[in-house]
Amino acid sequence: MKWLLLIMSLPTDNAAIRMRVWRAVKASGAAVLRDGVYLLPKHDNCRLSFEAIAVEVQSGGGTSNLLHVEALDEVDFCRLFSRQEAYLAVLAEAHKISDALILSNNAIEALKQLRKLRKTYAALVEIDYFPEAAQQQTDAALTELEQRANQMRAPDEPHAVNAAIPPLSISDYQAQTWATRRRPWVDRLASAWLIRRFIDPKARFIWLETINDCPAEALGFDFDGATFSHSGSRVTFEVLIASFSLDAPGLKRLAALVHYLDAGGLQTPEAIGVEAVLAGLSNAVTNDDQLLDSASVVFDSLLLAFEKGEKPT
């Protein structure tokens, strides 16, 4: 196995530069062989991290050397990169959130804390160069807790089913009546926008008081027993994309955003801002048709930005 070895020395009288370098080394996930000697696997992102640290060291009056080495077979450097303790710390925090959720029944606060914990988990995954079972176990625990909190926040959210998603033809779904639960939130709003934007431009929407009110001729979406709903790890928006093989530029990023806001997982850069905008619209607009029209402007704008490859500032 090939490795990168960074050997550096810093002046003792520059505390600021020493702190910056120490933080950069820690963020890179490098193993410490001894003071001033650090190790990373020979990956492109690791090389970039070490090169940036080397520049920082030299700018602060220190010296640095980046070496490419190949470990002997009997030397097990991989064990130096075990993240098990860090994952256990994340799991411990998840257990605290779970206990608090049981006591307070405050799903919104639990989801808020889970989002912060997901950021910690994502940062840990980035430097987990030799993943073991602990990573999967932690992800599964966070996902289960997110699903439980989301279910408490919105008890009428659909339960995911594990079924194949058959390919469908857009031409068979024109000028249809589509039905979903009233007061739509992110997944239902995004799905309705997607239907009208890419699948059925003449779609008519019915907003159901209860799912039992769904007319037999209507195409239901985002509720248990609907034609289109959660499947496996996909939310309804993602199921519609897969069902109709939609591949418009920008939809992949939009799907990641909708998934996070509806079901949790890895946070996208735009999520908090978009959630705030949609929440404001939902509070201000009481008519569901008008709410969809307003939200559609948001989704149109996001799609355009994603198509251009723009990143949030």
For residue 74, what pLDDT band results from cuts at 50, 70 and 90? low
| Encoded tokens for 99 | 């206990």
Q: Are 202 and 174 in contact (CB under 8 A)?
A: yes
> Distance between CA atoms of 285 and 268, rounded to whole angstroms?
26
| Encoded tokens for 187 | 């997944």
Q: Are 290 and 226 in contact (CB under 8 A)?
A: no
- Average pLDDT rounded to a whole number, residues 146-165: 80
Whether the per-residue pLDDT at 265 is higher than 50: the answer is yes
Pick the CATH number of 2-80 from 3.20.20.80, 3.40.50.80, 3.30.70.20, 3.30.70.240: 3.30.70.240
- Average pLDDT rounded to a whole number, residues 165-174: 95
Average pLDDT in the chain? 92
Question: What single string gives the DSSP state of each residue in 175-215?
Answer: S-EEEEESS--HHHHHHHHHIIIII-TT-EEEEESSGGG--
The reported pTM is 0.66
pLDDT at position 312 is 47
Quick: pLDDT tens for 9-47.
998 888 999 999 999 999 999 999 999 999 999 999 999
> Distance between CA atoms of 259 and 267, rounded to whole angstroms?
9
